[in-house]
Chain A
C-alpha cells in the first residue's frame, strides 16, 4: 500500500467514523461506575430501581411514556404525593421489577423488556449482575453529592435522547445554588444554626450524619451546620445524644408513613430541645418526589430550607418558585391547595418561619 492510499483510507475511515454514528443515532456514554453504556437509540422502555429515579425520568422526559417499571417505594411516593395526581397513569406502571432493597426480580424485569435499567452502583454485584447476565443494559449511578446527582441526571437525559432537558435543569440548579452559596459561604460556624435530620424517628431514632450524605450537604449549603456531624452516614442515636446536641432546627423524613411533627413534640426529651421549644420542627415536603434525597426538585428543597434556617438572609417566594418549577418539570399548574398539601401546611403551618410559605 502506498503512503497516499493509506492516508486516503485513513481519512475516509475518520469521516465514516464521524458520519456513520450520526446516521445510526446510537447513544453511548460512561456511567458512574466507569462502564460503557450503549443504546441503539433513545431509550423507550426504562426501568428505574433507585427510588428517586422514577420521578426524575418522568420529569426529564416530560411524561410517563418511556417509564416501564419502578421501585415499589417510588410508587408509594407517587401515590402519596402529587405526581400521582399529575400523571394518573403512573399508578399503573409495574413496580414488581425489584424488591424495595434494590435486588431486581429478573423474570419480572425480562417480562417488562426494558432497553435500559437504571440501578445503584457501588453496592455490589448482587444488584447488577442479574440485570447484565440477562442481557439487559444497565446504567449505574452513585448516591451522595450534588455533583453525582447532576451527573446521573445528565446521563438519564442523554439516554432519553433529550440532553437539552437536563441542560436547562442544570442551569436552574446552578442558579439557585450560587444564589444561596453567595450568602452562606462566609457564615462563620458560630452563626450557623444546628440542624438535625431524622432519617428515622418512629420506634427507634436514626440521624443523618456527615460523610457522603445529601441531607448533610444541603444543610451546609443553606448556612446551617449538621448537629449530627459526628456520625458517619445515617446511624441510630438515642434521645440523650439528641439532647446533648440540642439542635436548633429538626427536620423529619418522608419515609415513615403517617409521621407527624408530634413525634418530636410528644417525646419527653425531644420536646425540650431548642428546636422543639422554638417550634422549629418540620417534616420535609413531599412533592413530585420526597424532598429529602437528591432529585429534580432539590433546588426547591434548598430554598425551603434556606428560608427556614436563615429567615434573615433568605426570602424566596417558594410558592411562586414551585409553580414555575412544576410548569417546567411536569407542565403542570399547581393549585394553592396542591402547594399546601406538598408543604404539609395542615401539620406544620404554625411552625416558626412557616408563614413565609403561606398563601397570601
Chain B
C-alpha cells in the first residue's frame, strides 16, 4: 500500500516537471532556431518539436487523472459544505459517507465506461495526430485513474466510518512561514470531521 502511495506521488510530480521542461525546451528551440548561428541552426532545424504541444496535453491529462485520485487522499477536492457542517455530528456523518460513496460510484461508472472505450479503440488503428501514438495508450489513464480514484474514495470512507476523521488539507501553507492556521479550522469548502461526537 505504501508502495502504491509513493508511486502515485512520484508519477504526478514527474509528469508536472516533465511537461514544464518540455514546453520550455520547445520554446527555446523555436527561438534559437531563428538565429543564424552557423552549425547550430542547421542542427536545431533538423529537430522537429511540433509534437510537444500534444505530448504536453497528454502528460497533463495523465497528471489530472492520477492527481485527482491523490487529491481524494489529501482531501483537496472542494465541495459545498455550508449545510452539512451545521448538522448534528451523527447526521453529518451519514452525509459525508454518502458523499464519499457517491464519489466511489461515479468514478467506478466512469472507469467502466473508460475501459469499454479503450477496449473499443484498441481494436481500431486510431493514432494521435502528431506523435502517432496508439490512442488506446493515451486514454488508458481514464480507466486506470478512475478506478484508482474509486479505490481512494472507498479507502477514505472506510477510515471515516471507523475513526470519524477525514484527510486534512492545509488551505494556506507558505514555505518559510510557520503554520498559523489551526488544522481544525476548515471553511465550508470541506466537510468537518466528526471525531468523538464533536468537530
**A-B interaction:** no
- The chain A residues found within 8 Å of chain B, CB to CB, are none
